[in-house]
Amino acid sequence: MTTPLNLDALFRAYDEGVSAEHIVRQVYARIAEVADPCIFISLRDEADVLEEIRAMGPRDASKPLWGVPFAVKDNIDVAGMATTAACPAWEYSPAQDAFVVARLREAGAIVIGKTNLDQFATGLVGVRTPYGAPKNAIDPEIVPGGSSGGSGVAVAHGIVSFALGTDTAGSGRVPAALNNIVGLKPTLGSWSASGSVPACRSVETISVFGLTVEDAYQVYRTAAVFDPGDSYARRIEARPLETPPSGLRIGVPDAATLKTFGDTVQETSFRAALSLLEKAGHQVVEMDFTCFYDVAEMLYEGAWVAERYSVIEQLLARDPEAILPVTRQIICKAEQLSATDAFRGFYRLKDLARRVEGPLSQVDLLCVPTIPTFYTVAELDADPVGPNSNLGTYTNFVNLLDMCGLAVPVPPRTDGRPGSVTLLGAAGKDALLAETALGLEKAGTRTLGATGWKRT
């Protein structure tokens, strides 16, 4: 018997007498069935997970995620498991869980393993890893997305109910679009970063992939606990979801500034998603997105590349060959920058942020394609940088502008590839994004990831 692992179905199965041991065995059977050894960098022994489940005792209603299997991107600490950030020379053994992981385990969730990623979370493609790239769950010819590729693929295959990623430039959203799942990028600081390997600490967050919007948001609420030990933490309310709203003004790229790099099927899919929003009673407001693209270009210039460099500076000095050439090429651009360049970057970002204040004040939310188009593994082999940059078209600006984001599946494109849009809002609007997304994900005949399980 196979139990769908979205939370409603899983909890219903538990209510009907399915055991947590059965679910754990199903998880490991599914890992064997998928047979992709590159999804996980490290995997817990099935016997150890079964022992943990038995030690938890009977189902506990006070633990909202009791018996829920999840995976953790391997730049986030899990006690007793190595953290590598996809660099063997970086490997260390943490003595305790990352703050977010600890909150989820306290709620009864069960760690299965540590997932593969673009090295040091530098990439949106999922193939920049010395451990071999995980295969896209929908179409193995397409890149899995990154940097949280292993986490996105694990959820899409129905191996786990949810998985943690991280998101600086879109790493918690791009894999969601490419694998037909939900990617929730919280408001910066609402989730603690304690116990994670930073890429750009000032503009990044741990994120969550789920099979449904409600699943991802429930996980988010569970771990949205203020951490006084994280100097970037903020007190952000993670309120319960309410009835989906109507009458919102939703800003979208106008025809002149919508970018799909010639992918007319993607443009058609996006227009269809906007029609769904209009049918739900919202007003679609076309906007010039040039300023947002200008902000996006800042992320790999100046201060923020130098911030990445600061994380691995000692490793670069000691053993530069331990870092993949493409990763080294991107991050070492910082060696040509000065402190003066950094301040110029800060000033330019402030200027650009001021320019988008007016347009943003006229709308409640934004809606954009999560990705502008699709790229194959072969295309990445031919050009490791260009397609990666293009995938960040609608994601790179979000954290720089202190926005929250939710990538949500919409009906498949006319060519069968997954449809996905991202809702974006000001800091603290995480719940409004989720409420607005509920109708989008229910449109058409929604299946969960690559599992064939129906959205109920």
Which one-letter DSSP state was computed for residue 164?
Answer: E
171 as an active site residue: the answer is yes
Q: Which of 73, 114, 135, 429 is catalytic?
A: 73
Does residue 242 sit in helix, strand or coil? coil
Q: Residue 184's beta-bridge partner residues?
A: 208, 406
Cα separations in angstroms, 152 against 39, 246, 294, 360? 9, 30, 28, 30
Return d(Cα 425, Cα 433) in angstroms, integer: 7
User: Is-cis flag, bond preceding 19, omega within 30?
Assistant: no
Cβ within 8 Å of residue 424, ≥6 positions away:
365, 366, 367, 368, 398, 403, 404, 405, 433
Which residue in 200, 173, 199 sits closest to 186, CA to CA?
173
147 as an active site residue: the answer is yes
454 as an active site residue: the answer is no
Q: Which of 161, 171, 194, 269 is catalytic?
A: 171
Which one-letter DSSP state was computed for residue 19?
Answer: -
Cα separations in angstroms, 187 against 33, 170, 406? 36, 13, 10
Cβ within 8 Å of residue 331, ≥6 positions away:
120, 122, 305, 308, 309, 312, 316, 323
Are 230 and 205 in contact by the 8 Å Cβ rule? The answer is no
Q: Which of 114, 135, 147, 190 is catalytic?
A: 147
Phi/psi for 78 (5° steps) reads -130, 120
Cβ within 8 Å of residue 166, ≥6 positions away:
73, 75, 76, 121, 147, 148, 172, 196, 199, 204, 205, 206, 207
- Structure-token match 């940097």, residue found: 147
Cβ within 8 Å of residue 233, ≥6 positions away:
189, 192, 193, 226, 227
b/e per residue, 114-145, with b = 16+ CB within 10 A?
bbbbbbbbbbbbbbbbbbebbbbbbbeebbbb
Return d(Cα 60, Cα 108) in angstroms, integer: 8
**Residues acting as catalytic residues:** 73, 147, 171
